[in-house]
Homo-oligomer: A and B are copies of this chain.
Amino acid sequence: MKKKPSLKDIALKVGVSTALVSYVLNGKNTERISKEVAKKIKDAARKLNYRPNHIAKSLKTNRTNTIGLIVADIANPFSSSLARIIEDEAEKNNYTVIFGSSDESSVKAEKLTDILLGHQVDGLIIAPAENTESQIKRLQKQGIPLVLIDRYFPGLKVNFVAIDNFKASYEAVCYLMDAGYRRIGIIGFNTGLLHLQDRQNGYTAAFRDRGLPLSESWIHQVAIDQTTGEEVQSAVHKLISLPEPVEAIFFSSNKISTEALKYLNTLPLKVPKDLAVLSFDQSDAAELFYASLTHIWQPLEELGQRAVNILLASISGNKELIQVKLDTRLVVGKSTRANKSGSRVARS
C-alpha cells in the first residue's frame, strides 16, 4: 500500500505550514487566509487525492464520529432493519457505525463492548443481552454516552428507547378474546429479558382482567440463544394436540413465528379456520404465509432514529435521562378472524 498523502505533503508541495493547510481544508479561520493560498492548497489536496486521516484527528480531538451498535444478531431481520435505520440517521449526522452481534451472550457482549470502546466510539447503542445489567451500569459509571434500544433494565437510570411490550401483548390477546377465542396458547422465550417477559405478562394479565380461565398447558417457552426450530415445532405440536387444543397461538417474536409458520405449512390444519395465529414483530413472514399474519407492528424507524438522536445529544453533553416507550400497532391480517364463530355475523 502506497503511503497516503498527509497534511504535511500538501504543506510541503505548496510551501506553507501544515497549520494553514489544516485551516483551509477544514474551512476554519477562512477570513484571514489569502484566496490564492487557499486555492493552491485545495488544488494540491485534490491532485494528491488527499483524504484526511480521521485516526489522527480523533487522537487530537477525542472524537471519532463513530458509534458502536450492539445487536443480538445482525442476521435477524429485526436487528438488520434497525441497523439500517440507525446507519442512515447516523450518516445524516456525519457518523459512522461499527457493529457487533452479542448472540444474546453476556460474555460476547462484554467482549464486544471492549472492542468497540477500544476503537474509541463516541457512544454506544445497545440491545442488551440477558445478565448484562452490571456491564451497562459500569459503562454508565465511566460516563460513556449510551442508549439502550428495544430492551432496558427497569432499575437502571440509563437512556433507552423501547416499546411497551406488556401493553402490546395485552391488547393483542384482548383482541383475540374479543374475537371469541378462549383457548389461547403462547410460545415465548425462556429468558430473564424483561421485554420478553413483559410479552408473556401481558398475555396472562389479559386473562386475569377478563376473568377468563388460563391453563398452564397453554404456555410454552423455548430457548433464546440457539436455533429454536425444533423446539418451536414441538411447542406448536403440543398446543394443538391437547385434549382440548388451543384455538389460537400467540408467537412472542418474529423468530418464533417464522419457525412456527414453517411448521404449520407442513400440517393439514388450516389458518385461521382450525387455528388462529398472531405474532409479535412485523416481517416478510406476515405476508408470505398464506393467511397474512395478524401481528404487532413496532415503530422501527422511530426506535432507531430516536436512539441515534438521544445518543448524539448525550455525546454532546446532554445529561438529561431520556427513557422512551413507544406505542405499537396491531395490524390485523387474515390469520385471525374478527369473529371466531363466523356464523354469528352471517347475514340474513
Contacts and interface: CB of A to CB of B under 8 A. Distances in A.
A294 B168 CA distance: 36
A96 interface: yes
Contact of A75 (B4, B64, B83): B83
A13 interface: no
A117 B80 CA distance: 23
A262 interface: yes
Interface string A258-293: 100110010000000000000000011101111010
Nearest to A292: B265
A46 interface: no
A114 interface: yes
A99 B87 contact: yes
A313 to B, nearest CB: 14
A65 to B, nearest CB: 9
B96 A116 contact: yes
Report the copy number of this chain in the oligomer.
2
A53 interface: yes
Contacts of A120: 53-55
A142 interface: yes
A4 B115 CA distance: 15
A111 to B, nearest CB: 9
A188 interface: no
B77 A142 contact: no
Contact of A118 (B53, B83, B114, B115): B53
Nearest to A94: B115
Nearest to A52: B118
A342 interface: no
A227 B241 CA distance: 42
A134 to B, nearest CB: 13
A15 B316 CA distance: 35
Given A51-B118, A53-B120, A87-B74, A142 B2 contact: yes
Interface string A43-57: 000000101111110
Interface in A220-269: 258, 261-262, 265
Contacts of A2: 142-143
Contacts of A283: 284
A135 interface: no
Given A52-B118, A55-B58, A75-B81, 18 more contacts: A51-B114, A51-B117, A54-B119, A55-B59, A55-B64, A56-B59, A73-B84, A75-B83, A79-B80, A87-B100, A96-B115, A97-B100, A258-B288, A261-B288, A283-B284, A285-B288, A289-B289, A289-B290
Interface of A: 1-2, 4, 49, 51-56, 58-59, 64, 66, 73-77, 79-81, 83-84, 87-88, 91, 96-101, 114-120, 142-145, 258, 261-262, 265, 283-285, 287-290, 292
9 A-B pairs closest in CB distance: A80-B80, A75-B84, A1-B143, A288-B288, A262-B287, A290-B290, A54-B118, A55-B120, A2-B143
